[in-house]
Amino acid sequence: MAEKFKGASFSDWLYEQAQFPSLVQLLQGKMVELARSLIGQVPIPNGDIANAGNLSCRTAEGCLITRTGCSIVHLDANDWIEVISWNPDTWIPTAKGPAPNEPSSEIGAHLAIYKARPDVNVIVHLHSREFVAWARTLGAPLTEEEYPYGTPEFVAEIIKVLEDHNLVCLCGPEHIGFFALGGSISEVKELIRSSLAKIKEAKFRQTPTNKTCRSARQ
């Protein structure tokens, strides 16, 4: 069954109705807890984390990812879909789950990261200018060019700078933020926590090192 997707990343996706196995359901619950732990912690536009990113975790068949357009503030067990395959030529994913939730428009980036980094099992992507402004302080690489999110070009920019970094910031101004990666949920939580602590400490002794993508690369 093909469903029309209204975002920028792909025009169609394939859906298979199926209940999540018990292990995926367990991961689902833990990822909801992760999302809730970030509320009010990460500085994002308008001080609200709703509709400001996406989360995923690796599964045996692919990855479990938040649906497109969901609010992380109100995230629950109904806001997930498991993507089990991806056709890079047609840019069409195949997903399964109890409900035909459209995968996040940035599923391509998540899958590309999992492919490039076998050590990564959890990804958090949030829109935060704060992280980008302090990218150099955080030791995080910045993508060099801005492309529409969810496109092959956007994905390629992330992979180009990824290497062994667990924190990657995105060039703006339209789509700006970061991808935090880890082998486990606890690793990603600690990475975000320690990054926020570094930003807080740096604010007491200096101004942001890279308010724009151009200055960040100088």
pLDDT of residue 71: 81
* 162 vs 140: CA distance, rounded Å: 9
Please list the residues that pair with 14 across neighbouring strands: 2, 94
Looking at 1-60, list the stretches that DSSP marks H as alpha helix, in order from N- to C-terminal side: 22-38
User: SS3 for 182?
Assistant: strand
pLDDT of residue 11: 58
DSSP label at 208? -
Domains and CATH numbers, the chain: 2-216 (3.40.225.10)
**Per-residue model confidence as pLDDT tens for the chain (218 residues):** 333 433 444 558 899 999 999 999 999 999 999 998 988 787 766 545 546 789 999 999 999 999 988 888 788 999 999 999 998 888 889 999 999 999 998 999 999 999 999 999 999 999 888 899 999 999 999 999 988 888 889 999 999 999 999 999 998 766 679 999 999 999 999 999 999 999 999 988 876 655 455 434 43
* 47 vs 126: CA distance, rounded Å: 12
> Which residue bears the tokens 């980036």?
109
- Which tokens go with 116? 């490039």
Order of strands, sheet of 177-182, starting from the edge strand that comes earlier in the sequence: 2-4, 12-17, 92-97, 80-87, 63-66, 53-58, 122-126, 177-182, 167-170
SS3 content of the chain, % helix, strand, coil (to 5): 35, 25, 40
Please list the residues that pair with 57 across neighbouring strands: 64, 122
User: SS3 for 61?
Assistant: coil
